[in-house]
């Protein structure tokens, strides 16, 4: 057998090594591409998941915010319920803060907050039932008052006693006959009538609210007044010269609207137009009737 030339052997081994290295480079390149594709798929999936969780948190934040507003606007003329309402408002405020400070990706916490929100909603419904029940009792008292007045005319020997009882009943009925409001919200609209929070784009404000159903309340025209204050506490005036009497004094109003109230719930919107400019900050809106404050809300412009 012919012996291989050493130089030829070295060149052959070098060529074989180069060929082997080429195969290795190709294999490593294929693996690298595969890993890159896998990482891209995982990254895309995680990105979508995070976005979905953030959307769920935003929805939960909006719902607890609305519940907090409903609790703020809910009031009664009964001390026992008012005490419970204060406690529930504190619970809602704590939950709002927890949601804000918890990462959207903490799904266990978000599920827990969702359950707490449902519990607080049930508590809100229970308050409404209690208030409705007390209002029904007031209606019964109204009927009893009417009956007492008839008996008063026939009862000559107990005039003073019956008169005192009538005054007590009348005071309870008057307390339950006040018109109340709920769901007070102030929104800002741009020139295209779309909601905005940019102060430079605001062209008008719209305050939405509902006058609550009350069979004991006086029927007829009811005027609702707005007092909107800018971030510096200055009252906004739209040029309509609206005013009303509060605690025996004339008070200027930003805007007003009259509605016909027949004891059923009335939904209404009051617009604030012709304000030259809106600044960044918190705008406070107070809602009044001739009987006094119905509620208030805030609007933040940036």
Cα four-point dihedral sign 11, 13, 16, 22: negative
What HEC string does 13-82 produce? Answer: HHHHHHHHHHHHHHHHHHHHHHHHHHHHHHHHHHHHHHHHHHHHHHHHHHHHHHHHHHHHHCCCCCHHHH
Cα four-point dihedral sign 149, 155, 156, 161: negative
233: left (phi over 0), alpha (psi -120 to 50) or beta: left
181-301: which CATH topology? Immunoglobulin-like (2.60.40)
Residue boundaries of the structural domains of the chain: 10-133, 181-301
> pLDDT tens, position by position, for the chain (302 residues)?
556 666 777 777 777 776 666 666 556 667 665 665 555 555 555 567 677 778 888 888 888 788 888 888 877 777 777 878 787 888 888 888 888 888 878 888 888 888 888 888 888 788 788 887 877 887 888 888 878 777 776 666 666 665 655 565 444 444 556 889 999 999 999 999 999 999 999 999 999 999 998 888 788 999 999 999 999 999 999 888 999 998 889 999 999 999 999 989 999 999 999 999 999 999 999 999 988 999 999 999 99
* pTM for the structure as a whole: 0.44
Cα distances from 79 to residues 55, 85, 86, 261, 270, in angstroms, run 40, 10, 11, 27, 32
């Amino acid at each position: 057998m012919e012996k291989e030339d050493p130089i030829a052997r070295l060149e052959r081994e070098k060529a074989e090594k180069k060929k082997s290295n080429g195969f290795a480079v190709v294999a490593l390149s294929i693996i690298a591409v595969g890993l890159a594709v896998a990482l891209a798929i995982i990254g895309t999936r995680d990105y979508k998941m995070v976005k979905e969780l953030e959307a769920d948190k935003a929805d939960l934040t909006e719902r607890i915010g609305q519940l907090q507003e409903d609790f703020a606007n809910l009031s009664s003329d009964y001390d026992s319920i008012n005490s419970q309402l204060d406690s529930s408002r504190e619970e809602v405020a704590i939950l709002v803060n927890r949601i804000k400070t918890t990462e959207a990706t903490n799904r266990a916490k978000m599920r827990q907050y969702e359950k707490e929100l449902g519990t607080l909603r049930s508590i809100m419904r229970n308050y409404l039932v209690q208030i409705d029940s007390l209002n029904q009792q007031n209606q019964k008292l109204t009927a009893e008052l009417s009956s007492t007045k008839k008996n008063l005319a026939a009862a000559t020997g107990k005039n003073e006693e019956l008169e005192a009882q009538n005054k007590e009943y009348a005071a309870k009925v008057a307390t339950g006959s006040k018109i109340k409001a709920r769901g007070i919200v102030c929104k800002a609209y741009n020139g295209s009538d779309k909601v905005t929070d940019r102060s430079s784009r605001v062209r008008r404000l719209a305050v939405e609210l509902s006058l609550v159903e009350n069979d004991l309340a006086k029927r007829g025209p009811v005027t609702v007044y707005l007092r909107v204050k800018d971030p510096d506490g200055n009252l906004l005036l739209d040029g309509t010269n609206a005013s009303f009497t509060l605690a025996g004094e004339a008070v200027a109003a930003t805007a007003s609207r009259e509605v016909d109230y027949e004891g059923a719930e009335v939904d209404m919107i009051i617009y604030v137009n012709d304000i030259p400019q809106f600044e960044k900050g918190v705008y406070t809106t107070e809602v009044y009737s001739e009987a006094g404050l119905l509620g208030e809300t805030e609007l933040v412009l940036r």
